Amino acid sequence: MSKIKPSQGAPYARIMGVGGYRPTRVVPNEVILETIDSSDEWIRSRSGIETRHWASDEETVAAMSVEASGKAIADAGITPEQIGAVIVSTVSHFKQTPAIATEIADKIGAGKPAAFDISAGCAGFGYGLTLAKGMVVEGSAEYVLVIGVERLSDLTDLNDRATAFLFGDGAGAVIVGPSKEPKIGPTVWGSEGDKSDTIKQTISWEEYREGSPEKFPAITQEGQAVFRWAVFEMAKVAQQALDAAGITADDLDVFIPHQANERIIDSMVKTLKLPEHVTVARDVRTTGNTSAASIPLAMERLLATGEAKSGDTALVIGFGAGLVYAATVVTLP
């Protein structure tokens, strides 16, 4: 018989509060057209994107995260001192160490929580949410702050016609805490590393350090390959998440997919046969693709505008570089 005392966590976990931060500068497609041969109509028809937000020098990864976190903490009705862990998903924090999560934890006054970064691209929020749920149920933290944050403008090649218009900056955060009922469903997640070259950084930091390239590293992708994978494979993953939660599309109130491309969103809605009453997040139109930040930012906007309400059942799915993915059904805070 084991001598180890069993963990004393909560029966279940839930999202208690959500917060978001978008940089003050709004960048229309016209600005993007200054460096690529395209048109506003082409960008909108290919992606649905009309504007995006780009961060100033002062709107750092940490600064945006602190703003979003403060809103999530207030929304959850807890104090920073009650947070037992901080998880930050980002690919645009350019210091290898220490984790930006430690700086954020200190700046929000969280005391001495566990704090670490994860790198899971556009699926990063789903990965962080799953880890947070496990912590709360296992008992290692009563409240967990999960942040998705990106400054993808720093990794955008404005001369790349295929990607220059896609990316934006911002931060989204949620508080995960204890619940007496299941409010975060089982996660369906995974990776397809054989397709890792379809979305990648153009050159490694080592290559950049050696000084051979003239350009700063940027994100590049094989657009058609990514589109086909997202449309056909991620709809299957989304359905698996519904099945794992024991519900059908008819039971949904809200669908919050990663805000990568409106054509992908439309195709997933069609494949999943979502009923007309389901509210679909389309934050991509004015925020662009913010990778790990896109789902919590879209969630925050839907709740703020009243398009979604507290207690709604939502399917969330993130997918991107790796290729990695994560989907789950949640009750909105």
Catalytic positions are 122, 258, 289
| Residues 9 and 85: beta-carbon distance below 8 Å | no
Q: Which long-range contacts (CB under 8 A, 24 or more apart) does 195-199 make?
A: 195/225, 195/229, 195/323, 196/321, 196/322, 196/323, 197/222, 198/222, 198/225, 198/226, 198/229, 198/323, 199/121, 199/226, 199/320, 199/321, 199/322, 199/323
DSSP, res 287 = H
| Residues 288 and 49: beta-carbon distance below 8 Å | yes
User: How many beta carbons lie within 10 A of that of residue 206, not counting itself?
Assistant: 7
Tell me the C-alpha distance between 62 and 65, whole Å: 5
